[in-house]
Structure 1
């Protein structure tokens, strides 16, 4: 079974993180929430506090198949400034593992040149941060093992695309129908 880690930084976009986690778990995909801070408590961009299941240093990322980076500000900026996050993202790219980022978070991938020559999308205004990317206006874009989403209102599209990549189209359709989408 595929294992997903959702990286949470103070200032994360709650809808993107929690919506994605919820949809992946509805698909019975193993998801762990990971605080990039030294403590499990993480506060979202709209002051919603969550308790992550692990802190970054506790996670063996070699046992993880998919990384998810929610956007939000300053959450995406905090992800971008975390050296461990950047190291793990480079490792995932080198191992051809899935990396998914939504809203402002694709800027982290752009700064690492992981979008070079790839199609990608992001929250309007962050396009200059997607260094080397071929920017599209689509809600969700998959190019190789990189999945990018435009923003909070498109979390269902983003998370369901992840479900499809991880568990197949039949599981996606089942979850989608259960959500009345």
Structure 2
């Protein structure tokens, strides 16, 4: 059974956290969530004031954080800033890239992928190159200035990095992850009962 770890911080965009968690669960992926530097020790206060209780209140205390098949970083400006400011998160991204494991980021979450590459002086192993990415338009300039190839597509997959644009692309982002982890048949099996538009 594939496994996933999704991060959450104060200011994380709720849709971008809950949608991948929900869709991956429907696909039978074993998913866990971990908090990053939460002000309250048990829950995150998200971008629209919804409080979410992560499975693990502290990423720093999650000793097997590198053991999952994919690391997922939702957006939301303040939440993404918390990821960028966390040495633990940046090193975790590096570890997943070096191992050739999947890293998914949506909206401003892509900035943490970019920041990880900068802070560690480039990734090692399979993930040693900058990849083609997308993000929320509000951080596009910042990412382009760092020399990353940028796309306006709703979801971009380059090697083992999956990026997406924002709350409105969260379902497509999540279904893309399902297909990569579990195959096209499982994606279709999950999408059918959700009564999604044919374009997804």
C-alpha offsets along residues 23-82 of structure 1, whole Å, 9 cap, x if unaligned? 000111000011112623111000000111102123212321110000002110011101
Q: Do the aligned residues in 2 keep the contact of 1:40 with 1:53 (CA within 8 Å)?
A: no
Larger helix share, 1 or 2: 2
Give the one of 38, 42, 45 matched to 2:44.
42
SS in 1 for 2:138: coil
Give the C-alpha shift of residue 142 in structure 1: 0.4
SS in 2 for 1:34: strand
Give the one of 42, 51, 54 matched to 2:53.
51
- The residue that corresponds to 2:75 in the other structure is 71
Count of residues paired in the alignment: 181
Instruction: Find the aligned partners of 1:121 and 1:147 in 2 and give their Cα distance.
Output: 9
Alignment map for 1:135-174 (pairs within 5 Å):
135-174=150-189
C-alpha RMSD over aligned residues: 1.4
Give the C-alpha shift of residue 117 in structure 1: 4.0
- The residue that corresponds to 1:112 in the other structure is 116
Moved more, 59-68 or 99-108: 59-68
Gaps of 5+ in 1: none
- The residue that corresponds to 1:127 in the other structure is 140
Q: Do the aligned residues in 2 keep the contact of 1:111 with 1:129 (CA within 8 Å)?
A: no
Give the C-alpha shift of residue 118 in structure 1: 1.8
Q: Return structure 1 stretches of 4+ with deviation > 6 angstroms.
A: none
Gaps of 5+ in 2: 118-122
Instruction: Find the aligned partners of 1:33 and 1:62 in 2 and give their Cα distance.
Output: 13
Moved more, 154-163 or 30-39: 30-39
Instruction: Find the aligned partners of 2:115 and 2:192 in 1 and give their Cα distance.
Output: 37
Rg bigger for which structure? 2
Instruction: Find the aligned partners of 2:19 and 2:102 in 1 and give their Cα distance.
Output: 19
Larger strand share, 1 or 2: 1
SS in 2 for 1:138: coil
Q: Do the aligned residues in 1 keep the contact of 2:37 with 2:82 (CA within 8 Å)?
A: no
TM-score between the two structures when normalised by the length of structure 1: 0.95
Q: Do the aligned residues in 1 keep the contact of 2:91 with 2:116 (CA within 8 Å)?
A: no
